[in-house]
Amino acid sequence: MSGIKDRLNAIRATIPVGVTLLAISKYYPVEDIMEAYDAGQRDFGENKAQDLVAKQQALPADIRWHFTGHLQSNKIKYIAPFVHLIHSVDTLQLLREIDKHGAKAGRIIPCLLQIHIAREETKFGFTPEECLAMLEAGEWQQLSNVRIKGLMCMASNTDDMQVVAQEFARVKQLFDTMRDRWFAGDEGFDTISAGMSDDYQLAIAAGSTCVRIGSSIFGE
C-alpha cells in the first residue's frame, strides 16, 4: 500500500472540470505508474526521452505520454511516433526539428511553447518578448507537422506566493494576446500548462488548464 490512489483522488477532488491533471512520473517506477493507472489516471509526464520511451513500452497503450523536460534535438526521433504533447519547446530551432520528425513519423505533433518567467536563470524558455517576436516573424506557420497548442511555464521557486501569482498572470496575459493575434478561431489553441505540487491552486486561479503534479501524487 503506497497510498498513490488515495493521494491521487484527494488531488482530483480539488481540480475543476476542464483542467487536466498530468501526473509527473519522472522519478517513479512503472509499478507506481500502474497504481495510478488503475485508479483511472491516463496522462503521465516524463522529463527524459529515454525514460518516456522505456515506460511507454512497458505500460498500457492508452496512456497519453507528455514530455515536460529540456528536449535535445537528437532525442526527438525516439518520442516523435507517440508523444501526446511536448510541453517544453524553448527555441524556434527545436520547433523546426520537431516538425521534421513529425513529418517522418507522419504526424502533427502537439507542442507548447515554454515561457521563462521565473527569477532563476537556470530555467529554460522564451521570455514573453522573445515568444512574441518569434510568432511575429511567422516562420512557424510554415511548419505543418507541429501544432502550437499553448504555453507552459514554471514559476519561481519561492515562498512568496504573490510573485508566483504574478508570474502565472503574466503567462495567461501572453496566452490571451497570442490567441487574439495569431490563433483567433483556432480551437486547438487551448492549453496553459502551469502549476506543480506546491502552486497548482494558484495556477488554476490564474487560468491554467493543465497542472503537472509529481511528488504530491507519488510521494517525496
Ligand X SMILES: *Cc1c(COP(=O)(O)O)cnc(C)c1O
Which amino acid, 193? S
Among candidate residues 71, 30, 81, the one with its CA nearest the CA of residue 49? 71
Distant-in-sequence contacts of 36-42, Cβ < 8 A, 24+ apart:
36/4, 36/5, 36/8, 36/217, 36/218, 37/63, 38/5, 39/4, 39/5, 39/8, 39/9, 41/8
**Closest CB 216 distance from ligand X, rounded Å:** 6
Q: Of residues 23, 24, 86, 113, which one binds ligand X by CB under 6 A?
A: 24
Q: Of residues 68, 191, 208, 209, which one binds ligand X by CB under 6 A?
A: 68
**Closest CB 136 distance from ligand X, rounded Å:** 27
Q: Which is nearer to ligand X, 121 or 136 (CB)?
A: 121
Binding positions for ligand X, 169-198, rule CB under 6 A:
196-198
Grid cell 483511472 is found at: 40
**Closest CB 157 distance from ligand X, rounded Å:** 10
Grid cell 483522488 is found at: 9
* 209 makes contact with ligand X (CB under 6 A): no
* 164 makes contact with ligand X (CB under 6 A): no
Q: What residues are paired with 20 via a beta bridge?
A: 210
**Closest CB 123 distance from ligand X, rounded Å:** 9
Residues found near ligand X in the complex (CB under 6 A):
24, 26, 47, 68, 154, 196-198, 212-216
